[in-house]
Amino acid sequence: MNSIDPNTAATCRACPKLCRHVCPPALGEMRETLTPTHKMNLVALWQEGQIGLDQDLAEVFYACNDCGACTSRCQLKQNPAESLYAARAIAYQKQVIPQPVKDVVERHHTHGNPFGPIEADPPHEQANIQILAGCSMWYHQPEEEVETLRQALQQSHTQPVKVCHPEHCCGAALHAAGALDDHRNHANLFVHHHRHVTSLVVADPHCAHHIRSVYPKLGLNLPFQVIHYLQAMERSNLSRKHKTRPTPVFYLDPSPLGRHSGVFLLPRHWLKDLNYEVLEFVSSHNQALDTAAGGIYRWTSPEGALRHAHQLLMPLRQSSENGENVALITVGESERSHIEEANPDLKIFDLNNWIAKGLLNLPLPLE
């Protein structure tokens, strides 16, 4: 388990909040207590014995969506994200945790995912190539949408592709909750269920990043290669003929795909191939702000997470108010559904779905 680094705590508490502007909970709730600097100050005071661990302190520790922006933007080369995670793990071990955290873990135990019951029940099938749609997609989208992804992937690879069963969630929410033993057991089962798979094609960037980065830290040897859906598809197979000028759309970089995995150009190339003109946010690529769709924060403080995702899309909303009616494209259902919930008045789409429909020559939105 990661431990609280006293040097990080000491450095952060003396820092003039250099990462304050990239922390989704701090931005969404506009509370100085939730800035990484103040969180780490509270961690230091707790470790020094000057304050005790209670529900109020635990709520501050859990006001984090694991985006890692505080660490990646730190000019002092510190890693507050790991120390905050270690603080949550200790709080969970002591069961001094917010009720929403208990609810998420209970749903995971009951339904195999953090959202709740999933009606889809595809057959348990295995193949060398399997697609992991992600529990968010199974929960928010009809089974036909998952099948569309599978058909396009199979067409691209010209060999059988099977779908991972919805109960095979990656367990990222358990990890974010600090439920270390539950997460380890879940991750072991996940790897065991997919031990005969050679290529695991993952549609949700949050799932792909979690399996790639966290599972090996548990000592798990992955028997399969983890490939994101965008990277598994062949752009050369796209044979659509465009009869109109490119349609302008905004593209928002999901942090697990962009900042953590370095995939910036490929989504933009796909959009260009599909005849869309990419409009950039002021903060894009490696500087793109996280949407608060990942981690535990969307459950512990849904109002703050949604408010942050709403604020992020002000440029898009202004375009709509000017009559331009521009849509937003992101990648993965975790991002799409969260952004849509925060912005029900706007058009939000998942690029995975567009790529699949483009390769299958199905109608695309906004055409």
Give the ranges where 195-301 is alpha helix by DSSP (H).
205-213, 229-232, 265-273, 297-300
Separation of alpha carbons 289 and 164, rounded Å: 31
Q: What is the pLDDT of residues 84-105, one digit of tens each?
A: 999 999 999 999 999 999 999 9
Q: What is the pLDDT of residues 195-231, one digit of tens each?
A: 999 999 999 999 999 999 999 999 999 999 999 999 9
322 vs 47, more confident: 47
- Give residues with Cβ within 8 angstroms of 24, minimum separation 6: 65, 67, 69, 289, 290, 291, 292, 297, 305, 308
pLDDT of residue 315: 84
Whether pLDDT at 118 is above 90: yes
Give the mean pLDDT of 284-288.
90
Give the mean pLDDT of 295-318.
93
pLDDT of residue 82: 94
Q: Are strands 161-163 and 348-350 parallel, antiparallel or unpaired?
A: unpaired
Q: Which two tokens stand for residue 209?
A: 């990043």
Tell me the average pLDDT of the chain. 93
Separation of alpha carbons 126 and 43, rounded Å: 46
Among 20, 17, 23, 21, which Cα is nearest to 292's?
23
Among 315, 314, 307, 367, which Cα is nearest to 342's?
307
Give the mean pLDDT of 44-66.
96
Question: Kindly report the CA angle at 16 between 13 and 19, in degrees rounded to 5?
Answer: 90
Separation of alpha carbons 142 and 124, rounded Å: 18
pLDDT band at 167 (very low <50, low <70, confident <90, very high): confident
pLDDT of residue 2: 63
Whether pLDDT at 241 is above 70: no
pLDDT of residue 323: 65
Give the mean pLDDT of 120-141.
92
CA dihedral sign of residues 168, 171, 172, 174: positive
pLDDT band at 243 (very low <50, low <70, confident <90, very high): low
Domain ranges of the chain: 6-97, 129-232, 235-359
The CATH number assigned to the domain with range 235-359 reads 3.40.50
pLDDT of residue 201: 97
Q: What is the pLDDT of residues 32-41, one digit of tens each?
A: 999 999 999 9
Buried b or exposed e, range 123-157, using 16+ CB within 10 angstroms: eeeebebbbbbbbbbbbbbebebbbbbbebbbebb
pLDDT band at 18 (very low <50, low <70, confident <90, very high): confident
Whether pLDDT at 166 is above 60: yes
- Which residue, chain included where needed, has tokens 């703050």? 304
Give the mean pLDDT of 357-364.
91
Among 86, 160, 82, which Cα is nearest to 126's?
160
The model carries a pTM of: 0.94
Give the ranges where 30-165 is alpha helix by DSSP (H).
36-47, 55-61, 69-72, 80-93, 99-111, 135-140, 143-157
pLDDT of residue 158: 82
